[in-house]
A = this chain, B = another copy of it.
């Protein structure tokens, strides 16, 4: 029987090292640790990220910092270093149990001198106690007796792709433990980790404490006979200056509190916590094993990235699982990942939206710097909510040129995307406290930005947004991107309705908020007036929306004519060349129709879907494309189109279809996949009035079951493939 809860690797393929490190990441919403081997392997990325711990660097401005390596474990077998790059690997398998995030690796290895050892490695990052993680190594010599040595501690010399962020503050070691205290170089965030090692063996175990600077290490040794098992357990605690004033004491105290409990005790609570997660979040697909495993894999990665106890952090585009985009958060969170949390783990959605609330100062600063009012959210956001999009990056082909990245300057739709997510959360949760204390301020301050950014076009008699980048980033410096314009229109109108609601339901708090942000009645009138006159580029005859002004004049190149290819249209045409053709990186008009179906006459939907579908680079364009395309195809296209794009999103990281999964999980694709199942095939749609379900299951699906939370109540949906309805 196929195990639909386990991601497995049946043999060791060094060329997939980086990809599988991403896939086999363990985490708990506080930290994420890539699936590097305990004993190290050439070219591995031994990486642990902790939410919110950013530090400065050139070009990218800020990045998540790679923590001291808690996985490290040198194993010396009768004098020989265990090393997969040497000797002979007789068997190897690796499994990630999605039910509980347990990563297991079992292997048999014959050393260069011919000694054979059976080994099993297990690890998990506790979901019940996010400051704790645990690993276990179980070794059995098969055909020799000899000394088994372990060396393991905390390596503070870790770097981020060669760049070092840590300054040393202190360390120590006593008995079976050691600890390390560091601080990030620029952002001055302290971090402390503590470790306890315990070795069980039939023979006596000797431990030495090697207190080497920045790398305190415990060296344990014992003797073993053939068939005798030696087991090492390593418990780790971890705290940062973001969690507590004194992270070193906290880490040492936490480690001490775990004494005597170790793996088994930690494991029970951890597994229980995971059980509860899956009770709330699981999606059951019958009749399609690949889809079943993929949706659980993607949900797993969303769950280990979602901050449970911290409302000052966001999820980076590549979660906590790789260096891509350096941990920066984009609209990927609000538009792609957040719906999953909003509908299954609203507490986490609230934390993520609160991050935006707490970072309003940075967004206000950005608006002011650009000469606008209100709050303009950064396109890329890291620790403090300031804009961290790289402005210039080296041109890999010509050292005398640099490439200017414009998204941080003019991809302004993110402010509406965040407002949309706040509205969606509010609509689904009716979390009044959030709306009143935080959400409203986000929505109103970003609305104010739109009003100041809009320009009056005297000739045409309407408001417009010039010089922007829409979701389709193949085209930059465009005027009146339909997505941007109509999201802004909706946003300005939303602001008005939020104000009315606040006044009606919380008049005193509303008055305080309006005073705080200096919001007057004439602001609202002006917003209304702008919203009513924003340029809306719909051809009244055909119903076709022009993605931006002049888009239809760009060269209409057939995507098919580019096949076969294994790179994006932009890399084929070049940045300038891609600007000149109609091929788009990802759904843009279709994205608008997805988020705001009410903004366009229903009769016009199909013509737009068809026109843009054949011009969208769904294979090598944005990884954000396929899931949304799948949803829109479910509504407007063919079942084949829907499933093709769904499965493309499902494979994004499992199959590494874009060749960059080594940089980390495509978080937006993971969140989009959940939306494709629930909003696409499941057909869930919501409005202020409530939710509706219009399922359209792929023909071969026998069953689709999921849960969602609607205003505090859990709704169970269980759809049968044959009749395609009913819950």
The listed residue (B159, B163, B212, B409) touching A151 by CB distance below 8 A is: B212
Cα A263 to Cα B723 in complex, Å, equals: 90
Determine if A462 is an interface residue (Cβ-Cβ < 8 Å): no
CB-defined interface of A390-409 with B at 8 Å, one 1/0 digit per residue? 01101000011010000001
- Which residues of chain B come closer than 8 Å to A74, judged between CB atoms? 213
Cα A649 to Cα B164 in complex, Å, equals: 36
Most buried by B among A165, A167, A219, A409: A219
Contact assessment for B400 and A409 in the assembled complex, using a CB-CB cutoff below 8 Å: yes
Contact assessment for A58 and B394 in the assembled complex, using a CB-CB cutoff below 8 Å: yes
Contact assessment for B164 and A72 in the assembled complex, using a CB-CB cutoff below 8 Å: no
Contact assessment for B151 and A211 in the assembled complex, using a CB-CB cutoff below 8 Å: yes
Q: Measured between C-beta atoms, what is the minimum distance from A77 to chain B in Å?
A: 15
Q: How many copies does the complex hold?
A: 2
Determine if A259 is an interface residue (Cβ-Cβ < 8 Å): no
Cα A394 to Cα B59 in complex, Å, equals: 8
Cα A14 to Cα B615 in complex, Å, equals: 64
The listed residue (B164, B211, B392) touching A159 by CB distance below 8 A is: B164
- Which residues of chain B come closer than 8 Å to A59, judged between CB atoms? 58, 394
Contact assessment for B392 and A214 in the assembled complex, using a CB-CB cutoff below 8 Å: no
Q: Measured between C-beta atoms, what is the minimum distance from A184 to chain B in Å?
A: 11
- Which residues of chain B come closer than 8 Å to A163, judged between CB atoms? 162-164
- From 199 to 214 in chain A, residues with beta carbon under 8 angstroms from any chain B beta carbon are 208, 210-214
Say whether, besides A59-B58, A391-B399, A392-B392, A185 and B162 are in contact (CB < 8 Å). yes
- From 282 to 322 in chain A, residues with beta carbon under 8 angstroms from any chain B beta carbon are none
Determine if A217 is an interface residue (Cβ-Cβ < 8 Å): yes
- From 3 to 54 in chain A, residues with beta carbon under 8 angstroms from any chain B beta carbon are 40, 42
Cα A402 to Cα B390 in complex, Å, equals: 12
CB-defined interface of A587-601 with B at 8 Å, one 1/0 digit per residue? 000000000000000
Cα A164 to Cα B163 in complex, Å, equals: 6
CB-defined interface of A158-200 with B at 8 Å, one 1/0 digit per residue? 0100111101000000000000000001000000000000000
Contact assessment for B208 and A212 in the assembled complex, using a CB-CB cutoff below 8 Å: no
Determine if A215 is an interface residue (Cβ-Cβ < 8 Å): yes
- Which residues of chain B come closer than 8 Å to A167, judged between CB atoms? 42
Closest residue on chain B to residue A390 by CB atoms: B399
- Which residues of chain B come closer than 8 Å to A392, judged between CB atoms? 392, 394, 402
Q: Measured between C-beta atoms, what is the minimum distance from A210 to chain B in Å?
A: 4
- Which residues of chain B come closer than 8 Å to A214, judged between CB atoms? 157, 215
Interface size class of A (residues with CB under 8 A): 35 or more
Contact assessment for B391 and A72 in the assembled complex, using a CB-CB cutoff below 8 Å: no
Determine if A223 is an interface residue (Cβ-Cβ < 8 Å): no
Determine if A347 is an interface residue (Cβ-Cβ < 8 Å): no
Cα A384 to Cα B40 in complex, Å, equals: 33
Contact assessment for A213 and B72 in the assembled complex, using a CB-CB cutoff below 8 Å: yes
Q: Measured between C-beta atoms, what is the minimum distance from A392 to chain B in Å?
A: 5
Determine if A129 is an interface residue (Cβ-Cβ < 8 Å): no
Contact assessment for B213 and A210 in the assembled complex, using a CB-CB cutoff below 8 Å: no
Determine if A225 is an interface residue (Cβ-Cβ < 8 Å): no
The listed residue (B57, B215, B409) touching A215 by CB distance below 8 A is: B215
Q: Measured between C-beta atoms, what is the minimum distance from A217 to chain B in Å?
A: 5
- Which residues of chain B come closer than 8 Å to A399, judged between CB atoms? 61, 391
Cα A74 to Cα B210 in complex, Å, equals: 13
- Which residues of chain B come closer than 8 Å to A644, judged between CB atoms? none
Closest residue on chain B to residue A216 by CB atoms: B212
CB-defined interface of A241-271 with B at 8 Å, one 1/0 digit per residue? 0000000000000000000000000000000
Q: Measured between C-beta atoms, what is the minimum distance from A172 to chain B in Å?
A: 11
Contact assessment for B211 and A208 in the assembled complex, using a CB-CB cutoff below 8 Å: no
The listed residue (B40, B42, B164, B210) touching A210 by CB distance below 8 A is: B210
Cα A74 to Cα B171 in complex, Å, equals: 13
Q: Measured between C-beta atoms, what is the minimum distance from A380 to chain B in Å?
A: 13
Q: Measured between C-beta atoms, what is the minimum distance from A78 to chain B in Å?
A: 16
Cα A74 to Cα B151 in complex, Å, equals: 21
Closest residue on chain B to residue A76 by CB atoms: B211
Cα A349 to Cα B155 in complex, Å, equals: 45
Most buried by B among A74, A214, A215: A215
- Which residues of chain B come closer than 8 Å to A61, judged between CB atoms? 399
Contact assessment for B151 and A213 in the assembled complex, using a CB-CB cutoff below 8 Å: yes
Contact assessment for A402 and B402 in the assembled complex, using a CB-CB cutoff below 8 Å: yes
Q: Measured between C-beta atoms, what is the minimum distance from A136 to chain B in Å?
A: 20
- Which residues of chain B come closer than 8 Å to A164, judged between CB atoms? 159, 162-164
Q: Measured between C-beta atoms, what is the minimum distance from A698 to chain B in Å?
A: 47
Q: Measured between C-beta atoms, what is the minimum distance from A258 to chain B in Å?
A: 25
Closest residue on chain B to residue A159 by CB atoms: B164
Cα A167 to Cα B214 in complex, Å, equals: 18
- Which residues of chain B come closer than 8 Å to A151, judged between CB atoms? 211-213
Cα A58 to Cα B217 in complex, Å, equals: 33
- Which residues of chain B come closer than 8 Å to A394, judged between CB atoms? 58-59, 392
- Which residues of chain B come closer than 8 Å to A162, judged between CB atoms? 57, 163-165, 185
- Which residues of chain B come closer than 8 Å to A208, judged between CB atoms? 208, 210
Cα A215 to Cα B168 in complex, Å, equals: 15
Cα A191 to Cα B157 in complex, Å, equals: 19
Closest residue on chain B to residue A213 by CB atoms: B74
- Which residues of chain B come closer than 8 Å to A391, judged between CB atoms? 399-400
Q: Measured between C-beta atoms, what is the minimum distance from A680 to chain B in Å?
A: 40
Closest residue on chain B to residue A55 by CB atoms: B162
- Which residues of chain B come closer than 8 Å to A157, judged between CB atoms? 157, 214-215
- Which residues of chain B come closer than 8 Å to A42, judged between CB atoms? 167
18 A-B pairs with CB atoms under 8 Å apart are: A58-B59, A61-B399, A72-B213, A74-B213, A153-B212, A157-B157, A159-B159, A162-B164, A163-B164, A164-B164, A208-B210, A210-B210, A210-B217, A210-B219, A211-B219, A213-B215, A215-B215, A391-B399
Question: Which residues of A line the B interface, CB within 8 A?
Answer: 40, 42, 57-59, 61, 72, 74, 151, 153, 155, 157, 159, 162-165, 167, 185, 208, 210-215, 217, 219, 391-392, 394, 399-400, 402, 409
Q: Which 5 pairs, one residue from A and one from B, show the smallest C-beta to C-beta distance?
A: A157-B157, A210-B210, A212-B212, A162-B164, A212-B217
